[in-house]
Structure formats: structure tokens, C-alpha cells
Amino acid sequence: MNAETTMAPENAVKAAKANILQGINAAIADAMEEDDNVIALGEDLADPEEGGVCGVTRGLSSRFGEHRVRSTPISEQAIIGAAIGASLVGFKPIAEIMLMNFTTVAMDMIVNHAAKLRFMSGGQTHVPIVIRTMTGTGFASGGQHCDYLEAWFAHTAGIKVVAPSSPKDAYGLMRSAIDDPDPVLFIENLPTYWTPAEAPEKGHRVPIGKANVLSEGSDVTIIELLPRLVPVEDQAISAELEKSFRKQGIKSLTGTKVTKAAVAGNVVEIEAQTPDGKTQTLSADILLVAIGRAPVTRGLGVEELGIAMDRGYIKVDELYRTSVPNISAIGDVITLGNGVHPQLAHVSSMEGIVTAERIAGQEVQPINYDHVPGCTYCDPEIGSVGLSEAKAKERGYDVRVGSFPFGVLGRAKMAGETEGFVKIVADKKYDEVLGVHMIGPRSTELVAEAVLALRLECTVEELMKTIHAHPTFAEAIGEAAHATHGAAIHM
């Protein structure tokens, strides 16, 4: 890496263009200039030419001295341990771990010594450290390492995870991370280091907390033709999502039909018909259209083979055989003739397994599409499987339901993620679980337990008797089971 790669910190924020590396360098330099307690430590950080592994801190030791920009032993535990110790005596350390892969080695220290100190002290002790680490290096460092550890850290109470995508973001997020009272994992994507973009302004901050579409001050409006935001979900889930969006400042127009959209200069002019028949006009910088999908079967030659079709979809039976012998089809291009085929990657994958096993001569069973999990990756997350309360009643079940809010749980309080609930729909006669619906933290992960419960024809009582670890978000499932029988434990 050449010395010219990084411009001097005092110039980085003044240039018309900068890169992410320069944005981080400038943020650290400005913070150190303003606050004597800000220090940096890591492998080769004090070397004025090296400036750490990728040169992010190049020039800082010459400017602020080696007592504030310190080279440490090549040991991830030593780097994190020194940072935690320094934070507890009043410093604001910025620790560099060479690669994202290597954070596994220091995982226990980051979690048990840093994040849990706040919890164990009842919120009185904070560990204001920034852990800088790089991902996207193109190689692994051992079987136990993973380039996607940010997903793990994001689920750990007391730790914030940020990943800048531009020089402006890099500068603003780093400044906010240094000021944050809790550990911040600052993930830097190596391939984007040197891509030039708009340079940050000195003192710029990007708030760290719940990332959402409003973080940069945008006004967001969702227009939904059907009466509810997520019409395929249980009505209670849809109502909770709409309430959450209102709190976030996101407007929702349900039962509303877009009748016209046209570009006018730098904006999109939109006309929509509201449920009362009136016309509403909106103006937007960006219009995102997501109104469903269609099969891409044109050009495959299916018609020439004589395969039966239905409005572009390939007609198959329950084991994915087409109308032509020895030709099978799976995934988003098929129809089973009952209008209930979900266009989801995990469904297509299972259909492929069933088809391969059938072709190999193994005994197979048709997929029960009532057991397909649905996940909506919004904030708060939604996860569901099985019948909604309304659908269960439509099918003639005498149902009973129970729900339990995440906000009561200790884990939810620690993580500061208290929105949402788990709802269970069950058959009153046999106590069988018919559906599980959840909205809130980790719902897209927690739904896996519910899928297994339906697959095994689990009863509510069996869910009640299942021990859920404490403190976890999964406790909400066990508590919802108790609530279904009218007696949640912690309510």
C-alpha cells in the first residue's frame, strides 16, 4: 500500500472526494483532537508508515504520539483485553482486529467481559470501546471462522454493529461509535476502502441505534392495495406492524390503489385512489414498485414439449411431475392447481429434494404447505407458520388463542428490543397447535421451533412442558403456550 493511498487527516474532510479509509482516518483524528481520552490500539498501529493492517491509522502516531496510538502484541485477546481495561479507567479505546474472521478468537472477551458488564452492574458500568475489523478479504482463517459473524454479534445484548457504505457514513458512524457508552463492532468492507465518493464534513455524526429507513430523514409512505399491510399474516400481526410503523414515522395507506405514476423533473408524481373513492396525490424522490411476481417460462420450450400450462405457470402434481413423462418442475414457475403455492426459496429447495428422492426411487411424501414458514424482514421482523386465527375458523376448527409480549422478557429488556409478541392458534378439542405467529426481535429465527411443532403435530401442552432457556427471546413461545391455556407464568 502506498503512502499516497491515504491523504492527511486534516485534508480528508475538506476534499470534494474521499474514500472510506480516509473517512475513518479523519474521524479518529478529529475525535483524538477533541478528546484526550480517545486512544487507538492494535497490531502495528503506532508505525507511522504502516498505520495498522490496512493503513487506516497511518500518520496518527506521528500526530498524537505513541502513548495514544499504540501497537499491541499480535493477540486478539490481548487487544480486546487492553481495550476493555482502558475503557474502565476512563479512556475511549478504538481497537483494531486484523480480520473479521479473527474476532471469533476474542468473542468471549467481547461478550462476557464487555457486553455483560453493563447488565451485571444494573446499567451502572459501561464499556465504551470501538472494535474495528475488516471483512471481504477473500480468504478464511480457519474452520471456526466466519465472514458473517456480524449476524451473531447483532444478536448479543449490549453490542451495536455498524458497517459504513460511504466515506460520509464511515466518518459519521465512527464519530458516533467513539461517543457511544457501549461496545460498537465497526465492520469495514475491504473492497470498498478506496472507492471515492462525497467527502464528509468535519463533526458530522450518523446516529447509531435501530437502523431504519428514516435514519437519513426520509419520509416514507407505503401504499397497499389490500386492507392490511401484510394481508397474508394473522390480523393481529398486521395491526402490530402498522402501529410500529406509525411510531417510526412511516405512513401506511391501506386499501389504496395507485392509478397513475409519472416522472416530473427530479420527482415521481403519484395518484392513488383511497378506500372512500377519493384521489390522493403524492410526490416522491423514489418510487419502489413491489406488486408481485410472474413466472419466467417464456423461451424454455415447454409449450413445444406439450407440457400443460396455466397462465404461464407449469402445471404439476403433488410430487412435481408435469403432464409429460420424465419431466419435473419445481419452484416459482409451478402451480399445483390450488392457488396456494408459495414463491419462496426454502420451498423451492424442499421441492427439489422431494423430486430428487422420487426420481432416485425413494419413498416420498407430498409437502404440507400449511407447514411452510413465512418471514418478513422488516423492523420489527415477522415470522409465522400454519393457520391464522381467521383461517382456522374458516376451516371449521373451534379455536383458542394465546399471546405473550416480548417486552416482558429479560433478554428483550437487555437488548432494548421490546416490541411485538408471539401468538399461538390451537384446536380446542385436541389441543393441537394449528399456527404460530410472531412479530418482534428474532422472529424470523424463532419461527423454526414453531415449524417443528406443527410438523410433529405438537399440542399446546407439549409446548408448555418444553424448557426454554433463560434469558432468551424463545421464552416467549413457551409463555404464549401457557397463555393459550389461560395462565402465562410471567404476566
- Which residue from 255, 257, 286, 254 is spatially nearest to 269, judged by alpha carbons? 286
Question: Is domain 221-284 annotated with CATH 3.50.50.60?
Answer: yes
3-class SS of residue 31: helix
Same fold, 3-198 and 373-484: no
3-class SS of residue 273: strand
pLDDT at 349: 96
* pLDDT tens for each residue of 369-410: 999 999 999 989 999 999 999 999 999 999 999 999 999 998
* pLDDT tens for each residue of 129-166: 888 888 765 434 333 334 444 444 544 556 778 888 88
Question: Which residues of the chain, if any, have pLDDT below 50?
Answer: 1-15, 138-152, 154-155, 209-217
Could you say which of 3.30.310.50, 3.40.50.2300, 3.30.390.30, 3.40.50.300 is the CATH number of the domain covering 373-484?
3.30.390.30
CA–CA gap between residue 376 and residue 385 (Å, rounded): 12
pLDDT at 121: 62
- Which residue from 441, 435, 442, 428 is spatially nearest to 480, judged by alpha carbons? 435
Contacts of residue 251, defined as CB under 8 A and 6 or more positions apart, other chains included, come to 219, 220, 221, 222, 245
Question: What residue type is assigned to position 253 of the chain?
Answer: L
Helices (H) and strands (E) in the chain, counts: 15, 21
* pLDDT tens for each residue of 263-290: 998 899 999 999 999 999 999 888 988 8
pLDDT at 286: 87
Q: Are 115 and 123 in contact (CB under 8 A)?
A: no
pLDDT at 9: 41
Positions marked catalytic: 470
pLDDT at 29: 93
pLDDT at 315: 94
- CA torsion 431-437-441-444 (nearest 10°) is 110
Percent helix, strand and coil across the chain, each to the nearest 5: 30, 20, 45
pLDDT at 55: 83
Q: Are 25 and 41 in contact (CB under 8 A)?
A: no
| Domain layout of the chain by residue ranges | 3-198, 221-284, 309-369, 373-484
3-class SS of residue 405: strand
∠ CA 92-98-102, rounded to 5°: 105
Could you say which of 3.40.190.10, 3.40.50.300, 3.40.140.10, 3.40.50.970 is the CATH number of the domain covering 3-198?
3.40.50.970
pLDDT at 12: 40
